[in-house]
Amino acid sequence: MVVVVAAGFLSSCSNPSKNAVAPEQPTLSSVVGGRFVSKIELDHGGLMVAPAPKTRPRVSATTAQALFRATDAVNGAYRFAVLGLGLATVSRHVSVSPDVSPATTATAPGTTTTTMSGSGTGTTSSSSATTATTTTTTVTVPGTTTTAIGVGPGSDHATSSTTAPPTSTTLPRYDSRLAWVGIAWGTDCPARPGSPLATRYVAVVIDAGTGRSVIAYTSRSPLACAGPDLPPSISVPAELVSIPWVPLGPTSTSVRITLPTCSTYFGWTEVPGPGASTVQVVARKPFDPSCGSVAASTPTVDEVVPLGTAQAQVQHAKLGPVQALRTLPGG
């Protein structure tokens, strides 16, 4: 009797893998009640998220949801999205993206955009680490192109600046760290002969204790359906926020905007509503400001089309994080 029990015990210890749960790719059932309930994995260990212990994070689920949905890395339309608390690990072998602020230019179906090219007008703000003065600078950059980007629900159109926020390629490390992890994905390309559907996953990892140290993880996938697969990468994302603006005159299409510390102008959009439409001006705000300045900046943005003589009928959009992430019907 003793020999049989001992043999059975040793057998169970020598084969722990039989009881181990294999990680899987993200699904809508990976998160239940705001927590990861299964272990998920991307790119053979590039990103892993395990269920977290029963602990209450300092950053609430509501706050984490707002940060995730306003991150520029997930700006656009996706089929599926989940957000949950878990223990996140990002492999040190994943390379840092050359574009450390990976805003996408996707727009939701039904969104009309305009693109301005040729001799464009851009805006820049200057600040100093040793002063707290406010500066206003408007520059014209011949031959530049601004890209139209849909921002927020029901976006009509938006023009985006090409300036990215100051960032560092030294990214925070995640090794079984308690974090809010939001993942957005969709089947982007048809299956190739002998290959599964090419699915692009974009994950936003947020420290659950501070709401900072945010990184974006992009899975191995083709940038375009006809192109080669790109390796997985991590980058420094930013938060897209609606900021204050005031018109420069009673019939002007130019507005003066107030940029938060270390942020840059991202674009403007007209948001239709039940009554009058609203104009939303959006800034790209770093989660971890590191520009060395506490100065605000008030650049001028030209050619905000809905204004002009009709500006009395145009209202100011609500301030704060914008809904950059959109999930498609049926997702």
**Cross-strand bridge partners of residue 285:** 239
Query: How far apart (Å, rounded) are the C-alpha atoms in residues 206 and 44?
Result: 21
Sign, CA torsion 233/238/239/244: negative
Which amino acid appears at position 42 of this protein? L
Residue 214 tokens, joined: 């945010």
Positive or negative CA dihedral for 76, 80, 83, 89? negative
Per-residue model confidence (pLDDT) at position 122: 30
Q: In whole angstroms, what is the distance from residue 110 CA to residue 92 CA?
A: 40
**What's the pLDDT score for residue 188?**
59
Q: According to the model, what pLDDT value does residue 20 have?
A: 59
What pLDDT sits at residue 121?
28
The pLDDT averaged over each successive group of 10 residues in the chain (331 residues) is 46 49 86 96 95 94 96 93 97 79 31 27 29 28 31 40 45 94 81 66 96 94 75 94 91 90 91 81 91 81 83 86 85 56
Residue 187 confidence (pLDDT): 62
- pLDDT score for 159: 42
Q: How far apart are CA 238 and CA 166, in angstroms?
A: 10
For residue 7, which phi and psi values (nearest 5 degrees)? Answer: -65, -40
Does this model's pTM top 0.75? My answer is no
